[in-house]
Amino acid sequence: MLSIKKVIASSLVSVFVLSAALFAGTISADSGQAELQLAQLSDGFSAETSYMASCFACHSTGAAGAPKVGPGNAEAWAPRVAKGMDVLVTNAISGFNVMPPKGLCFTCTDDDLRAIVQYMVDSSK
Ligand code: HEC
């Protein structure tokens, strides 16, 4: 009798843990969206489209030592990501050695550039 109670209790616990995890997942997805809405992205902005238009020329080929973007390039990005996203975004905005200011996307806002840098890092895993 006691062991049946234990089984019921432990399955109740796992249901609780599972729903807590799902609930937490919902919350973090929501707050991610709120963050996105607060960012000052240009109308109709797409990180991928802007990357293709402004950054792809150097970052797809690794021209002039640009860290390559795309699957399998995590190593090229690891030491840069280690500097922190804020440093990467600041360098993308101000320029960094041969990397030109704003990566030549002069219509991009700072938040647009942040989204593009995030896209570059995310797609280089
Ligand atoms: C003319 C070529 C060129 C273009 C266009 C370009 N980059 Fe770069 N980028 C570079 C080079 C070269 C480096 C490496 C600089 C170094 O480490 O000395 C670099 C480095 C970076 C870094 C890493 C900075 C760091 O602190 O390590 C980021 C982030 C970056 N580029 C973002 C962008 C974004 C975003 C765009 C487009 C909006 C862009 N780049 C367009 C050449 C370019």
39, amino acid identity: A
The confidence score (pLDDT) of residue 3 equals 61
Using alpha carbons, select from 94, 95, 85, 83 the residue that is nearest to residue 117.
85
Note whether 32 and 57 are same-domain residues: no
Question: Would you place residue 40 in the very low, low, confident or very high pLDDT band (cuts 50, 70, 90)?
Answer: confident
CA of 115 from ligand 1 middle (Å) equals 14
Q: Are residues 31 and 76 in the same domain?
A: no
Number of structural domains the chain divides into: 2
Whole domain around residue 99: which residue ranges? 47-122
Q: Which is higher by pLDDT, 60 or 28?
A: 60
Q: Mark whether 56 and 108 lie in a shared domain.
A: yes
**Spacing, Cα 124 to ligand 1 middle (Å):** 14
- Helix 110-122 vs helix 85-94: crossing angle, to nearest 10: 120
Tokens standing for 59?
């970052």
Residues 116 and 78 in one domain: yes
Residue type, 79: P
- Is there a single domain that holds both residue 112 and residue 80? yes
Convert the pLDDT of each residue in 61-88 to its tens digit: 999 999 999 999 999 999 999 999 999 9
Residues facing 96 on adjacent strands: 99
Q: Is the CB of 103 under 6 A from ligand 1?
A: yes
Which CATH number does the domain housing residue 57 bear?
1.10.760.10
